[in-house]
Amino acid sequence: MLHLKFIRENQALLVERLKLKNFDAFQLISKIIQLDDQRRQTQNIQDNKQAEGKRLSGKIGALINSGKQEDANKSKTDSSRLKEEIKTLNNQMQEISSTMESLLIQIPNIPHESVPPGKGEQDNFEERRYGVIPELEASAIPHWDLGKKYDILDFELGNKLTGAGFPVFKGKGAKLQRALIQFFLDEAIKAGYREIIPPLMVNEASGFGTGQLPDKEGQMYYIPSENYYLIPTSEVPITNMYRNVILEAKDLPVKNTSYTPCFRREAGSYGKDVRGLNRVHQFDKVEIVQIVHPDKSYDCLDEMVSHVEQLLRKLELPFRIMRLCGGDISFTSALTFDFEVYSAAQQKWLEVSSVSNFEDFQANRLKLRFHEESGKKNKIAHTLNGSALALPRIVAALLENNQTSQGIKIPAVLVPYTGFKMID
């Protein structure tokens, strides 16, 4: 959510910049400013009436104390009348505010100036590429077949237990999952992140705080009996830890990391893109989240990008980094880099990480602020997050790219975690 003050002061600029996200904000913004004017006007009247009411109440008290009951009764009538007026005004205020809020949350974040124009993923800009795309033998097979061949990954069993999109990992497949999680967490901790294990269900307020609610209910699993949502990413609980929090400038940056399973309904997905591990309803992910000083957020974004880059290099996976264009970047993000690994048997790039700077968009909605120094006004912090990393597509690429006639080779960096060098 953008700050009202910013919207008021940068109306034209905002409309212009949001065109990059293919969003026409003109009507919305005009309406918001009009409502805000109304709100201010109403508040002014209400404040004055309330001040008058306060004075009157004090007077009544004094009159009663000095025994002037009749004068007091007369003032009581005035006061009652005032109260009615205030109540009406207050109702108006609430209505205006809630309408304004519902409009405010419809405006997307402003894209950073380096965001390239474009309509969709085909227009994303490739920043750089690393690694060599392996030449597989003619007998190479995709990961869903490899999973069956080595009995490490079972989609049919998941289907029996739950339904489509809930894979079962077995034996060395399960161990590989655990190894990756451990490796990612260790690397994050080495990079200065604090590990958190959050709840896997969140309430409505948290869903709202990070922008899943309202409107995106359909993407989350919902527990009606408790009114809870299964988290689609640990970003939700980890970021909401700081909802309504005022930090000290000296505590920044705040760096948290968390491994959790993630649950996504992915309603409406179908076709070959969702085969195997490419898209599932439950998957594991290690997330990194930072809360930083506004002056530093783009340096932090670089730092996070390079962290993810190092992970992929250590796993010896070929990857490319994409700077998302205006049409593909998310509603909440100012600048996003996607990481894609090459899955050699499927012969396609798979998105494994998305690293974003939200600037103050998320923090504003969360009311996440910090004290610049004593005596100065509090400021909205900047937030960033990134996957480091999401497991399923990493596993898909590792299995496919490292397959040999002897079995699947485990990258050297993971061997201390798996305890084996080959899946065979």
What are the residues binding RNA (CB under 7 A)? 4, 36, 40, 43-44, 46-48, 50-51, 53-54, 56-58, 60-61, 64, 76, 79-80, 83, 246, 369, 371, 374, 377-378
- At 376, give phi and psi (nearest 5°): -90, 160
Shortest Å, Cβ 79 to RNA = 3
Q: Write down the least CB distance from residue 377 to RNA, Å.
A: 7
Q: How far apart are CA 347 and CA 340, in angstroms?
A: 12
Gap between the Cα atoms of 270 and 156, Å rounded: 17
Cβ atoms of residues 171 and 190 within 8 Å: no
Amino acid, res. 239 = T
Q: How far is the CB of 106 from RNA (least distance, A)?
A: 20
The CB-of-327 to RNA minimum distance in angstroms stands at 32
Cβ(195)–Cβ(258) under 8 Å?
yes
Report how far Cα 184 is from the mean position of its chain's Cα atoms.
19
The smaller minimum CB distance to RNA, of residues 61 and 199, is found at 61
Report the DSSP pairing between strands 335-343 and 348-359. Answer: antiparallel
Between 79 and 212, CB nearer to RNA: 79
Name the residue nearer to RNA (CB basis): 74 or 119: 74
Report which secondary-structure segment, H or E, holds 321.
strand 319-323
Q: Which residues are paired to 384 by β-bridges?
A: 290, 357
Shortest Cβ 171–RNA spacing (Å)? 25
Kind of pairing between the strands at 369-371 and 246-248:
parallel
Which residue from 268, 300, 26 is spatially nearest to 165, judged by alpha carbons?
A: 268
| Residue located via tokens 């992915």 | 266
Nearer to RNA, 83 or 421 (CB): 83
* CB 302, min distance to RNA, A: 29
371 vs 421, which CB is nearer to RNA? Answer: 371
Q: Which residue has the tokens 């990961």?
A: 143
Kindly list the strands in the beta sheet with 222-223, ordered across the sheet, starting from the edge strand earlier in the chain.
Answer: 201-202, 228-230, 222-223
Give me the DSSP letters along 206-274.
HHHHTT-TTT-GGGS-EETTTTEEE-SSTHHHHHHTTTT-EEEGGGPSEEEEEEEEEE---TT--SGGG
What's the closest the beta carbon of residue 5 comes to RNA, in angstroms? 7
**Least Å from the CB of residue 12 to RNA:** 20
- In this complex, which beta carbon is closest to RNA, that of residue 213 or of residue 245? 245
Of 30 and 48, CB closest to RNA: 48
Residue 238: count of CB within 10 angstroms of its CB: 22
Q: Which is nearer to RNA, 124 or 364 (CB)?
A: 364
